[in-house]
């Protein structure tokens, strides 16, 4: 029976549309994603796991626009925009015109089809983008008073609200394209801006949520900005979360030794042994590694993710880092961005780091030991909560330890743990050389043995060569 002609025509139209999408390659321009459902693990919308991706107080961009629990801040957005226009003695049409020119590029940043009209989209970008700039500028210049806001401002002078806004600005689904923010900043400064958006982001959102002793001085921030701006070469920064992520890769020793180059060099050196040892993984937690004789030491050199293991001394060096109530949300969204945006395992720096730390931390005892070693500082209720946090972060996340940037550390640890003499030595130290009374007893026994041997030696000597 002949196929229905209209049915075939409809299918051909769908094929043509699919071919056009592939030709346009729109997905290559995406940078602001809806977190995939498989990463949310099928939890209910009110669960903490999903809540970590949803803004708590304010929406930026289209994904959470109009949600009821975020409506209270909409009036403040318009108030802030009005305040900014009066302060700069500018007209709103300047901003609308500038953003309208960027609309196709800005729309392409979002991976979901947007139902907003052109006017609605441009209005949203200007309204949300200007609020973000005011928020960042107020934190960068040392206070909102310099921007003309009174000390009784209901938003900017309340630390608790500013903290939540900063957290919402770290969420993947709640981003404004960096090209839009930069254009708005240029309009605000009439083309003579002395700062750029990445600098504002790093001043307001330095990695204090992650690392201990994060760079805070103006010189460090300028150095970091130079490193962040050149890390990806032709790959521009795409939004605030991306800027924050790249700031975590800050390596003060030399801007030429960027994180990507460092990882690539490691991978290049390991290529020859890759075929022979294709299954690099580590199931050993801190307690197991200690039984194998491995010691833990703080590594006070940035970047924080660069974990080092010295086989000669059996020392694993990890940069001190801090865990608090914000850490899970920050890490969740950094990992989600890497999972959605990065194509290579060695680019998933945060994902690989969290996977490594999850391997290390199994129990509350592991957390306690890392704390005592000066590596982990946390402000949660208990050590068990920290262990559970890392377990949740890695759940249903793709990690390729065979190609990740920490592959050489896995390999060296496995080699060290596989040698029995290391375990025997560690067993001797852990079981017999930690208690001072045991050490004294062993020393006394050795001394008694030595004295007995000397006495026996003199007795034998006197027997064969008696004194004349």
Rg for the chain, CA atoms, rounded = 29
Q: Please indicate, yes or no, whether residues 197 and 71 belong to a single structural domain of this protein.
A: yes
Q: Does the residue 441 lie in any domain?
A: yes
Q: At which of 175, 205, 235 does a domain end?
A: 205
Long-range CB contacts (within 8 A, 24+) of 356-361 = 356/282, 356/307, 356/406, 356/409, 356/410, 357/390, 358/390, 358/391, 358/393, 358/394, 359/282, 359/283, 359/284, 359/285, 360/285, 360/286, 360/289, 361/285, 361/286, 361/386, 361/387, 361/390
Which residues lie closer than 8 Å to 389 by C-beta, 6 or more apart?
Answer: 323, 327, 328, 380
* pLDDT of amino acid 326: 86
Q: Does the residue 20 lie in any domain?
A: no
Pair 353, 305: CB distance under 8 Å = yes
Q: Please indicate, yes or no, whether residues 58 and 175 belong to a single structural domain of this protein.
A: yes
| pTM (2 d.p.) | 0.80
* pLDDT of amino acid 61: 93
Q: Please indicate, yes or no, whether residues 135 and 70 belong to a single structural domain of this protein.
A: yes
Pair 97, 131: CB distance under 8 Å = no
Q: At which of 183, 205, 227 does a domain end?
A: 205
Q: Please indicate, yes or no, whether residues 306 and 172 belong to a single structural domain of this protein.
A: no
Within 10 angstroms of residue 312's Cβ, the number of other Cβ atoms is: 6
Say if strands 321-323 and 376-378 run parallel, antiparallel, or are unpaired: parallel
3-state SS assignment for residue 6:
helix
Q: Please indicate, yes or no, whether residues 55 and 187 belong to a single structural domain of this protein.
A: yes
Give the closest residue to 194 by CA, choosing from 185, 183, 181, 203: 185
Q: At which of 205, 233, 255 does a domain end?
A: 205
Q: Please indicate, yes or no, whether residues 66 and 40 belong to a single structural domain of this protein.
A: yes
Q: 375-407: buried (b, 16+ CB within 10 Å) or exposed (e) per residue?
A: bbebebeebeebbbbbebbbeebebebebbbbb
* pLDDT of amino acid 264: 44
Q: Please indicate, yes or no, whether residues 66 and 160 belong to a single structural domain of this protein.
A: yes
Structure tokens at 21: 């999408």
Q: Does the residue 233 lie in any domain?
A: no
Q: Please indicate, yes or no, whether residues 164 and 291 belong to a single structural domain of this protein.
A: no
Q: Which residues pair with 322 in a beta bridge?
A: 377
Q: Does the residue 3 lie in any domain?
A: no
* pLDDT of amino acid 73: 95
Q: Does the residue 97 lie in any domain?
A: yes
> What residues make up the domain containing 102?
30-205
* pLDDT of amino acid 96: 96
Q: Please indicate, yes or no, whether residues 421 and 441 belong to a single structural domain of this protein.
A: no
Q: Which residues pair with 309 in a beta bridge?
A: 316
Q: Does the residue 211 lie in any domain?
A: no
Q: Please indicate, yes or no, whether residues 449 and 373 belong to a single structural domain of this protein.
A: no
Count up the domains in the chain and report the number.
3
Q: Please indicate, yes or no, whether residues 183 and 327 belong to a single structural domain of this protein.
A: no
Q: Does the residue 175 lie in any domain?
A: yes
Q: Does the residue 1 lie in any domain?
A: no
Low-confidence ranges of the chain (pLDDT < 70): 1-3, 17-28, 41-50, 141-142, 206-235, 250-283, 302, 345-346, 401-405, 419-439, 441-442, 461-462, 467-468
Q: Please indicate, yes or no, whether residues 285 and 190 belong to a single structural domain of this protein.
A: no
Which residues lie closer than 8 Å to 325 by C-beta, 6 or more apart?
Answer: 379, 380
Under DSSP, the state recorded for 33 is: -
* pLDDT of amino acid 285: 85
Within 10 angstroms of residue 327's Cβ, the number of other Cβ atoms is: 20
């Amino acid at each position: 029976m002949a196929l229905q002609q209209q049915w075939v025509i409809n299918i051909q139209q769908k094929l043509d549309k699919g071919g056009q999408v592939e030709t346009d390659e729109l997905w290559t321009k995406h940078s602001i994603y809806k977190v995939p459902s498989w990463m949310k693990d099928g939890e209910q919308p009110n669960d903490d796991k999903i809540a970590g991706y949803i803004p708590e107080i304010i929406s930026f961009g289209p994904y959470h626009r109009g949600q009821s629990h975020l409506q209270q801040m909409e009036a403040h957005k318009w108030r802030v925009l009005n305040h900014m226009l009066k302060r700069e003695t500018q007209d709103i049409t300047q901003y609308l015109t500038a953003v309208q020119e960027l609309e196709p590029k800005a729309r392409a940043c979002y991976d979901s089809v947007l139902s907003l009209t052109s006017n609605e989209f441009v209005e949203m970008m200007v309204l949300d983008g200007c609020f973000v700039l005011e928020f960042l500028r107020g934190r960068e210049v040392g206070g909102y008073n310099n921007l003309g806001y009174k000390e009784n401002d209901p938003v900017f002078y309340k630390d608790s609200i500013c903290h939540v806004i900063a957290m919402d600005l770290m969420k993947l689904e709640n981003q404004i394209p960096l090209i839009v923010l930069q254009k708005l900043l240029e309009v605000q400064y009439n083309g003579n801006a002395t700062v750029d958006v990445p600098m504002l982001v790093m001043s307001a959102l330095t990695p204090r949520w992650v690392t201990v002793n994060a760079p805070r001085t103006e010189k460090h921030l300028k150095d970091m900005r130079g490193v962040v701006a050149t890390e990806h070469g032709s790959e521009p920064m795409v939004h605030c979360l991306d800027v924050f992520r790249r700031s975590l890769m800050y390596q003060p020793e030399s801007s030429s030794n960027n994180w990507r180059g460092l990882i690539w060099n490691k991978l290049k050196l390991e290529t020859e042994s890759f075929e022979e040892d294709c299954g690099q993984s580590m199931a050993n937690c801190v307690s197991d590694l200690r039984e194998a004789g491995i010691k833990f030491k703080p590594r006070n050199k940035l970047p924080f993710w660069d974990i080092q293991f010295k086989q000669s001394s059996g020392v694993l060096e990890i940069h001190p880092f801090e865990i608090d109530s914000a850490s899970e949300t920050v890490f969740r969204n950094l990992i989600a961005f890497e999972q959605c945006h990065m194509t290579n395992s060695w680019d998933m720096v945060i994902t690989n780091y969290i996977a490594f730390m999850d391997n290390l931390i199994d129990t509350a005892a592991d957390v306690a030991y890392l704390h005592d070693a000066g590596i982990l500082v946390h402000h949660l209720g208990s050590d068990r909560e920290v262990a559970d946090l890392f377990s949740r972060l890695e759940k249903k996340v793709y990690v390729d330890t065979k190609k990740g940037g920490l592959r050489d550390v896995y390999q060296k640890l496995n080699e060290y743990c596989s040698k029995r003499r290391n375990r025997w030595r560690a067993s001797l130290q852990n079981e017999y050389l930690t208690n001072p009374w045991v050490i004294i007893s062993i020393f006394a026994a050795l001394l008694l043995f030595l004295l007995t041997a000397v006495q026996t030696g003199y007795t034998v000597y006197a027997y064969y060569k008696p004194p004349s």
